[in-house]
């Protein structure tokens, strides 16, 4: 950890180096992003990535194992299962649980995703943003409304965040990073064009939050949606077109270099 406060240029050089270090294919195997990397078709990547992001809480090894279990229950064909499932297929999900995500939630997720593909132009379109939008707040709120437009269990709403509830929306912001960012490093997919990399908001989990505060990129006392926006606005000063590439640096510093230990 730097012993003194860095100048803006020093901070950029420091985070550029760390982002490059952690944004590489070696990152994939130990991260939930490995789940969508099992697929090549756009819709399979989208759906596998969505479940991987939504189930991404707890130990990364456990998350990956549970996601692989769910993919197997979907016959290793995420899009085909979402579009073509019947009542008998959904009964398979009666065995699936991850922390507080239970079979009832899994069944509704399948129905909601089918509705999105059949009636709303697919997942990419459900998150689309006007080019003039500064960040993804509108996209996340619109997606939440579309996702829960069918009759749904009240409890399932807790599994999909929205800025309207002041959430950091960490998992959805991570999912959007996977789908939207495109570079030559092989981690993020860059298969969506209806959201721009410049509009992304940095996923703000515990590790990123602590590192961001140590680097004075976050000053807001609480951790909520506005905290994630504050962090991202400061990262835009370092790279206006792709601020969220620094997620690799902040997360890597927190996990692999121990900065997030209190």
Instruction: Judge if 257 and 149 occupy the same domain.
Output: no
Instruction: Kindly tell me if the per-residue pLDDT of 152 is higher than 60.
Output: yes
Using the 8-state DSSP alphabet, how is residue 256 labeled?
A: T
Percent of the chain beyond pLDDT 70? 97
Instruction: Judge if 8 and 39 occupy the same domain.
Output: no
HSE at residue 149, side-chain half, CA atoms within 13 A, is 15
Instruction: Judge if 105 and 142 occupy the same domain.
Output: yes
Q: Is the dihedral of CA 17, 19, 25, 26 positive or negative?
A: positive
Instruction: Kindly tell me if the per-residue pLDDT of 2 is higher than 60.
Output: no
- Model confidence at 6, in pLDDT bands (50, 70, 90)? confident
Backbone angles phi, psi at 200, to 5 degrees: -65, 150
Which tokens hold the place of 53? 């992001």
**258 within domain boundaries:** yes
The domain tally of the chain equals 2
Phi-psi domain of 258 (left: phi exceeds 0; alpha: psi -120 through 50; beta: other): left
**196 within domain boundaries:** no
Instruction: Judge if 23 and 83 occupy the same domain.
Output: no
Instruction: Judge if 162 and 73 occupy the same domain.
Output: yes
Last residue in a domain, options 162, 189, 216: 189
Strand partners, 98: 101
Instruction: Judge if 221 and 259 occupy the same domain.
Output: yes
**136 within domain boundaries:** yes
**18 within domain boundaries:** yes
Could you count the other beta carbons within 10 Å of the beta carbon of residue 99?
12
**Tens-place pLDDT, residues 200-255:** 999 999 999 999 999 999 999 999 999 999 999 999 999 999 999 999 999 999 88
The domain of 86 spans: 31-189
**237 within domain boundaries:** yes
Instruction: Judge if 62 and 142 occupy the same domain.
Output: yes
The mean per-residue pLDDT over the stretch 171-176 comes to: 98
How far from 179 is each of 173, 176, 182, 252, CA to CA, in Å? 10, 5, 8, 20
Torsion angle of C-alpha atoms 28, 140, 224, 2, degrees rounded to 10: 40
Last residue in a domain, options 189, 213, 245: 189
């Amino acid at each position: 950890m730097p012993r003194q406060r860095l100048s803006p240029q020093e901070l950029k050089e420091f985070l550029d180096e760390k982002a490059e270090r952690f944004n590489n294919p070696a990152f994939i195997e130990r991260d939930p992003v490995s789940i969508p990397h099992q697929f090549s078709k756009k819709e399979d990547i989208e759906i596998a990535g969505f479940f991987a992001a939504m189930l991404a809480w707890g130990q990364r090894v456990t998350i990956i194992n549970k996601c692989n279990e769910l993919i197997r229950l979907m016959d290793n064909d995420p899009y085909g299962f979402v579009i073509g499932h019947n009542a008998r297929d959904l009964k398979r999900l009666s065995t699936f649980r991850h922390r507080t995500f239970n079979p009832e939630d899994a069944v509704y997720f399948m129905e909601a995703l089918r509705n999105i593909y059949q009636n709303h132009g697919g997942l990419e379109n459900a998150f689309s943003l006007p080019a003039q939008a500064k960040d993804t707040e509108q996209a996340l709120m619109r997606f939440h409304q579309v996702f829960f437009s069918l009759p749904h269990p009240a409890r399932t709403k807790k599994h999909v965040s929205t800025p309207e509830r002041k959430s950091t929306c960490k998992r959805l912001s991570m999912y959007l990073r996977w789908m939207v960012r495109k570079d030559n490093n092989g981690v993020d997919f860059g298969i969506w064009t209806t959201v721009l990399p410049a509009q992304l908001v940095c996923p703000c989990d515990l590790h990123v939050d602590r590192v961001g505060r140590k680097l004075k990129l976050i000053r807001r006392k609480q951790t909520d949606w506005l905290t994630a926006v504050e962090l991202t606005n400061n990262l835009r000063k370092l790279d206006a077109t792709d601020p969220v590439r620094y997620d690799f640096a902040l997360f890597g510093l927190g996990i692999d270099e121990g900065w997030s230990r209190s």
